[in-house]
Amino acid sequence: MAKRIRALDNWERLVRAILQREHLLSSAATGTGTAPASLGGKAADIDRILQAANEIEDEDPNVTRILCESAYIMAHAMDPNSKGRGVMQFKTALMSVIKTKPKEGVSHDKEHDIQYLWNFYSRYKRHKRVSEMEYEQQEWIESGTFSTNNIREMEVRVSQMKNAYVILRTLLDVLEFLVGDSNDRLRRQILEEVKRIKKSDDVLGELFPYNIVPLDVPSWTNAVGFFSEVRAAVAAIGYTPDIPRLPSSFEAPEMRKLDIFDFLQFIFGFQVDNVRNQRENVILTIANAQAQINLPSGTDPKIEDAAVTEVFCKVLDNYMKWCAHLGLRIAWKSTNELNKTRKIILISLYLLIWGEASNVRFLPECICYIFHNMAEELEAVINLQEAVPATSCKCEDGSVSYLKSIISPIYDTLKEVCDNYFTFVLLICYSSFCNVE
C-alpha cells in the first residue's frame, strides 16, 4: 500500500512540475517547441497545431480541445509505444491538457468535432476579414501606386493576413487529418477549401520561402524587388526567342514567367531548391554589377552588356584559365560573339553545377571539367527548335537528374579513394592516382 501511495505521489509531482498546461502551450507559443524530436517530421506539425490552439483558446476552448486531441493522435500514431525520448512525458502532458478542456454538449464524437471545427473555421475567416483584405491587396496591386507610406500600410495588412492564414491553414490541416478517406460532402468541401487557401498563400507571397528577393511569387512589401536594377536583372534572365521552346508537357510556373533557369532545369534536371537559390543569386549579382555602373531608369529598365560581361568574366575566369592550362578550346567560339542572354545562360549553368556539386565543389578542376562538357551539350541543344533533356543526365528510370547521373558517381569514386587512402599511399605516389583529370 505504501509503495502504491508513493507511486501516486510521484505521478502527481511529475504532472504538476513538468507537464502543466501553461508550460506546454506557452512553449509552443514561443516557438521553442514541445513535441519531442524523436517524433520526426511530425514534431513541427504538432507544434504548429499546439500554437494555434494556444492562440484561439480564449475564442473557443472547445476548438483548443479538438486541436490538442488531434495532436495527441498524431503523436501516438508516430510512436504508439512511447519509446522515443520524451514521448511518454509529452503525451501525458497533452492528455492532462485535454482533460481540462470543456466538451460541447452531452456527448461528442469524431463527426461532431469535424462539423464543429469547420463551423469555427468559417466564423474565424469572416471575423478576420480575410476575403476583404485579399480584395484590398489586389486593388492596391492593380493601382500600381507604390510609395513608402502605402508599402508600410500594406506591411501591417500583410502581417495580419499572415497570422490569419497560419491559423486557417492549421485548422484546415487538422480538418483534413480528421476527415481521412471519407467521401462525404463535408470532406469534399474541406478539400476544395484547402486548394483555395493554398492558392491564396501563393498570391500572398509572404509565406513562400525565399532568401532576399521573392521571385517565385509576388510580394508587394519587399522593397528590394522594386529596385530598378533588380527589376532589370529579373527581365534579363527571362525567356527570349533565341532560346529553344520547352515542350508542351513542361509545367510552366503559375506565378511568374518562364526564364532561362526553367530551361536549364528541364535540360539537366537540377533540383528545385538549387534552381531557386541560384536564380536569386544570379539576379542579385547582375543587379549589383549594374548598380556599380549606373542605375537603370524608366518604366522598363535594362541591364547593360558591360554589367553582364563583368559578371561573366569573374564567374568563368577559373574555367577559362583551366582550358588555357590544358590547351583546350573553350566551350564557346569567342566571348565577343556571345550575346547578353547567352552569357547569362553560361553564368547560370556554372553556378547551378557548383550549387549541387556536394563535396565535389572543393575540386575546382573537376567542376571545370563538368562545366566544359555540359556547356558543349548545351550548345547542341540551343541550336534545336525544341529543348530536349541532356543525354549525360538521363537516369535508368527515364528521369533527368544532374545529381544522380553526374555528381553521385564522382562522389562515390572520391569516397572510395578516401576510404582506402592510407592503403594506396603506401603503394603508389599520390600524384599518380589522385589526378581528377
How many angstroms separate the CA atoms of 105 and 113, rounded? Answer: 11
Summarised one tens digit per residue, pLDDT across range 318-375 is 999 999 999 999 998 777 888 999 999 999 999 999 999 988 999 999 999 999 999 9
* pLDDT per residue as tens digits for the range 259-273: 999 999 999 999 999
Q: What angle do CA 60, 72, 65 make, to 5 degrees?
A: 15
Q: List C-alpha distances in Å: 169 to 120, 194, 196, 302.
A: 13, 8, 11, 40
pLDDT for 208: 60
Q: What is the dihedral of CA 383, 387, 391, 396, to 10 degrees?
A: -170
Residue 1 pLDDT > 50, yes or no? yes
d(CA 241, CA 249): 19
The rounded percent of the chain whose pLDDT value lies above 70 is: 72
State which amino acid sits at residue 250: F
Sign of CA dihedral 132, 136, 142, 143: positive
Which of 108, 29, 113 minimizes the C-alpha distance to 70?
113
Summarised one tens digit per residue, pLDDT across range 142-189 is 555 555 555 566 666 666 677 777 788 888 888 888 877 666 677 777
pLDDT for residue 202: 46
All three cell numbers of 143, joined, read 493601382
* 82-98 burial: b if 16+ Cβ within 10 Å, else e: bebeebeebbbbbeebb
The answer to whether 319 and 372 have CB atoms below 8 angstroms apart is yes
| Closest residue by Cα to residue 279 from 211, 368, 340 | 211
Q: Is 245 helix (H, G, I), strand (E, B) or coil?
A: strand
Tell me which amino acid residue 86 is.
G
Residue range 10-39, pLDDT digits in tens: 555 555 454 444 444 444 433 334 677 777
Written as one letter, the residue type at 78 is M
By three-state DSSP, how is residue 102 classified? coil
pLDDT at 48 over 50: yes
Euclidean distance between CA atoms 127 and 140, whole angstroms: 22
DSSP-assigned states of every residue in 379-423? HHHHTSSB----GGGB-TTS-B-HIIIIIHHHHHHHHHHHHTHHH
Tell me which DSSP letter residue 284 carries.
H
Residue 405 has pLDDT above 70, yes or no: yes
Residue recorded with cell 501516486: 8
Q: Which residue carries 480538418 as its cell?
A: 175
Does the structure show a pLDDT above 90 at 204?
no
Q: Please name the residues in contact with 177: beta carbons below 8 A apart, sequence gap of 6 or more.
A: 70, 74
